[in-house]
Structure 1
Amino acid sequence: MTTAKKCPMCGKPRKEEHTPFCSPRCRDRDLAKWLDDGYAIPGEPARVPTGEEDEEY
């Protein structure tokens, strides 16, 4: 028995033309989540250079 892979946004079966999503809507929802900082990678926050420091990053 094989199980179809599911869309990571809504859980419906994936469609080849939108892999790994089921539709353009789910693909766009995922992109919006990335753009709105909805996803985060664990770790220390990145230091932002202020221009006043002589250190190179």
Structure 2
Amino acid sequence: MTCPLCAKETDPAFRPFCSKRCADIDLAKWLSGSYAIPSEDPEDIEEALNAALNEADPPKKPH
């Protein structure tokens, strides 16, 4: 089996990767959202847009 990132032989300690470096690169891709599958569903897009807008400018609470 080869490492999915660099194609070197895998190391049993880091399987399916060859090293901690490749494992960490893969983890960073997951955490950053690089592996996300974009949705074509209009409802998902609208919900994501609303969430992003609310996060950028949260609603003001009355005093």
The bucket for the TM-score relative to the shorter chain is 0.5 to 0.7
Larger RCO (CA within 8 A; separation ≥ 6): 1
| 1:24-43 superposed Cα distances (whole Å, 9 cap, x missing partner) | 00000000001111102354
Kindly report structure 1 stretches of 4+ aligned residues shifted beyond 2 Å.
Answer: 41-48
Q: CA RMSD in A?
A: 2.1
Distance 2:3 2:31 in 1: 19
Task: Give the fraction of aligned pairs with identical amino acids, expressed as a percent.
Answer: 47
Q: What amino acid does structure 1 have at the position aligned with 2:27?
A: L
Tell me how many residue pairs correspond in the alignment. Answer: 46
Tell me, yes or no, if structure 1 residue 16 matches structure 2 residue 23: no
Runs (5+) with no aligned partner, structure 1:
51-57
The structure whose residues are more often helix, as a share, is 2
